[in-house]
Structure 1
């Protein structure tokens, strides 16, 4: 419910400025006609009140409503009815009337598409009918040169205001789309690629290597003693260790390398154009930099140092698909853990495929 209220209020806020600009500019169109015909005092007062007070009143009405979005749609329909009324008050003077009706119709189209525009058209017809019954002004469609000039600000500035609002909305939507795209690809805790996106990147690299014969290596990583950190210091300490290691990993790999987190203490690195021997060099550098990383204070007798167990698998054309490549790296990781942890093992493609 709070999200619905926020979206509705934001919708009303976006339309506040175009409405305020449109009402002030419409004053020029309507006055240019009204001064040429006898008009009662109450109609002048109504015209000024509509131009100066309706925009803040409409905004207040929308943001105070239980459903701000529906309330603002109602405000737009009232805008259309008002435009129809003022068109009738001008005796349907051609250019001022068409300008008012077209601009309110444009607003309806932008807010709710063709279906809502049709509802706006009915509201305009209702406003025209009210104006005809109440005012009984004679029809005078001729537009003078002065009235043409009086309509130009509305014709020029109002679409500009709507365009500005649409541009800002498009920017917001673009930023939101980028944020959602990032969330869909990124592990929330560490900022590394998540498992799904990392698998897609590995699939793409496998296809590239298969086509070109380029070298590439996969590295599967387990953090040694991570469960002990969780048991001894709690999950907050474990989460902080994951973040520290992820930051260290991101600083150690090249910009072309792709690191991902699978969940828990399991990580993967995709190293394009890299042989298993060069991948081993990277793991050694990572282990050296990891040496000082520990849970607990320096003087704490219960502090726990973190180590790495790694499995490395270079790309081999003998792999039928990417699953074989990942399986090779997994087997190498299990072998490293079985031989005492803190080790890095390189997979034998023939052993995996046998």
Structure 2
């Protein structure tokens, strides 16, 4: 009957990191994180490259270039973003696939920097996109790798094509590049802002799940016992009175066996609601699992706690479940006031457990106080 000491290693700790940084993530979680990562990169890549088409095309018009380069430009700016998404979304490891796509972006950016003759404005836009994307996606390490790939591909393209160095941008190229410099950072920031909001919402939901019982909404055993330890320390430090209750639903196994687990679940929820209606908002209710509840009543004497439990007994005496109108619910309660002899909170919990055992041995459907 007495709850066993918890092992915190058995409880889930929410973490939004991917599997490379958190090996405790499941394969499914790692896949979903990678897919979301690829989705975040999709829109900025598509919009940024589409805008880049125009200043790059303006530079190509000013230089007599073979038709194959035009085909490459169209494929890169309008087809590659969607191909990259397909490669990542269809991969068994979207995170790794999208990281490879980002490296391809860096290589292609270097090629087009070279093909423009390292023209200032288009080159600035390309390098900016590489820096922003890689720093946001993988931090300094990925950024350094991407810069290296961009530099190598640029030098290799210059060597192979023999394109002359032409850094000065004509007015048309400048005006066509300005939208890229404005739109891409804003779009990238907006996409990542939305992702941050979703992550924060998920973190909050996980935080609630980590401290609340999923069925009843009251505190789960792990968090409730933490609150009990804190209450014990505060009461000892400030000489405050407090009372601890352990509550057990009478013959709960019989209810499950004869009426079904759906009725048993409804009974658990009903007991929770009656406790919430009868106790103060400051009283801390927890569910230990199964049919056991526990309540910390700070600043409350054992007499007041017994009076509160009497109200619960009275409410249950006339209450019937909608799915089992012939079933009467009863609870046994153990009450343990905090005493000076208790050296640690588990002694307090043990006293309440002994009082609960006393109530069960005396016939159940009653409240007993620790001796």
Give the alignment's TM-score, normalised by structure 2.
0.84
The answer to whether structure 1 residue 336 and structure 2 residue 362 are counterparts is no
After TM superposition, the structure 1 = structure 2 runs for residues 136-147 of structure 1, keeping only pairs within 5 Å, are: 136-147=162-173
How far apart, CA to CA, are the structure 2 residues paired with 1:106 and 1:198? 45
Q: Contact 2:242/2:337 (CA < 8 Å) preserved in 1?
A: yes
What is the distance in 1 between the residues matched to 2:146 and 2:138?
10
1:205 has 2:231 as partner: yes
Aligned 8 A contact 1:105 1:117 in 2: yes
Q: Is the 8 A contact 2:40 2:192 kept in 1?
A: no
CA positional deviation for 1:137 = 1.6
Q: Which residue of 1 aligns with 2:320?
A: 293
State which of 165, 173, 195 in structure 2 corresponds to 1:169.
195
Between 1:30-39 and 1:84-93, the stretch displaced more is: 30-39
Residues 223 and 309, structure 1, Cα contact 8 Å, conserved in 2:
yes
Query: 1:98 and 2:124 equivalent?
Result: yes
In the alignment of these two chains, the number of paired residues is: 344
How far, CA to CA, are the matches of 1:285 and 1:145 in structure 2? Answer: 84
Question: Out of 295, 302, 305, which is 1:276 matched to?
Answer: 302
Q: CA offset at residue 267 of structure 1?
A: 0.8
- The reply on whether 1:85 has 2:111 as its aligned counterpart is yes
Which residue number in structure 2 is paired with residue 50 of structure 1? 76
User: Secondary structure of 1:305's match?
Assistant: coil
Q: Which residue, out of 323, 330, 335, partners 1:307?
A: 330
1:273, 1:64 → 2: CA distance?
60
Q: Deviations over 1:17-46 (max 9, x none)?
A: 010121022224323433433333332333
Please state how far the C-alpha of 1:126 moved relative to its aligned partner.
Answer: 4.0
Question: 2:62 aligns to what SS in structure 1?
Answer: coil
**Among 269, 280, 283, which residue is 1:257 paired with?**
283
The residue aligned with 2:339 is 316
Q: Structure 2: 5+ residue runs without aligned partners?
A: 1-26
1:326 aligns with 2:349: yes
How far 1:135 sits from its partner (Å)?
A: 3.5
Q: 1:181 aligns with which of 195, 207, 229?
A: 207
Conservation of the 8 A alpha-carbon contact between 1:295 and 1:305: no
The CA distance in 2 between the partners of 1:272 and 1:8, in whole Å, is: 47
8 Å Cα contact 1:241/1:295 also seen in 2:
no
Per-residue deviation at 1:221? 0.6
1-side partners of 2:115 and 2:93: how far apart?
33
Paired residue secondary structure (2:282): coil
Matched, 1:193 2:216: no
Partner deviation per Cα, 1:136-179 (whole Å, 9 max, x = no partner):
22101123455444332222221112212222222222222222
Report the alpha carbon displacement of residue 337 of structure 1 after superposing the two structures with TM.
1.9
Shift of 1:339: 1.9
Residue of 63, 71, 74 corresponding to 1:37: 63
Deviation of residue 229 (structure 1)?
1.1
Deviation at 1:182, TM superposition (A): 2.0
Of 124, 140, 146, the match for 1:120: 146
Cα deviation for residue 327 of structure 1 reads 2.2
Q: Secondary structure at the match of 1:183?
A: helix
Distance 1:98 1:255 in 2: 61
Unaligned runs of 5+ in 1: 349-354
Q: Offset of 1:296 from its aligned partner? A: 6.4
Provide the C-alpha distance between the structure 2 equivalents of 1:43 and 1:227, rounded to a whole number of angstroms.
76
CA distance in structure 2 between the partners assigned to 1:65 and 1:335 by the alignment = 61
| Alpha-carbon distance, 1:62 to partner | 1.8
